Amino acid sequence: MEDRICLWEILKPAVVPRALPERREEVPLPCGEAHSFPTPKMRIGIREQLAAAVLLCSILPLVILSVAVWINNHSFVVAVTGNELTLTASLKAAEIASDLVLIQSTCSTIVTRILLQQTLVSFYKDQTTNFSSALDDVKGALLSGGFSSLLQTEVFSRNGTGG
């Protein structure tokens, strides 16, 4: 065995630190010899230990508090947002319904005007086609503004033949 050189003998000066006190442990090597390797120690200074303890003691309660606040407030915020959306949809639906009722009442008011009715009666009696006064009356009703300015009127004959 004298002609074989163990790798540990070559690397020993580079691996073994000299500044730390050594604790040795016997480990068998593949070359058949047993060597004692130093067990490295990791030393952390008191300043770093104290800083880590202060950091842990200050961040841990903050994490606990923030998680508790988030759990309590998350469901409340979701519920409030849902209620706001429901209220907004309800108000919008009520607005659309009132606009439709206004348009319906304006249409029924326009088609039941006296000048238009009298012109239609005279048209059915003697087939006169003087609709200028009725047309001016309907135009005046439609020029009142708002949603009624979007309305259009169409007058149909009684029986589809024009008579």
What are the backbone dihedrals phi and psi of residue 13, each rounded to the nearest 5 degrees, phi first? -65, -30
Closest-CA residue to 138 (of 160, 109, 100, 98): 109
Per-residue pLDDT tens listing for the chain (163 residues): 456 666 666 666 555 555 545 556 666 666 666 666 556 667 788 899 899 999 999 999 999 999 999 998 988 888 888 888 899 999 999 999 998 888 788 777 777 777 777 887 888 888 777 778 777 777 777 776 665 555 566 666 666 565 5
Q: Which two tokens stand for residue 161?
A: 């033949």
Q: Give the sign of the dihedral formed by CA 65, CA 66, CA 70, CA 73.
A: positive
Provide the token pair at 156. 């149909």
Q: What is the pLDDT of residue 119?
A: 80
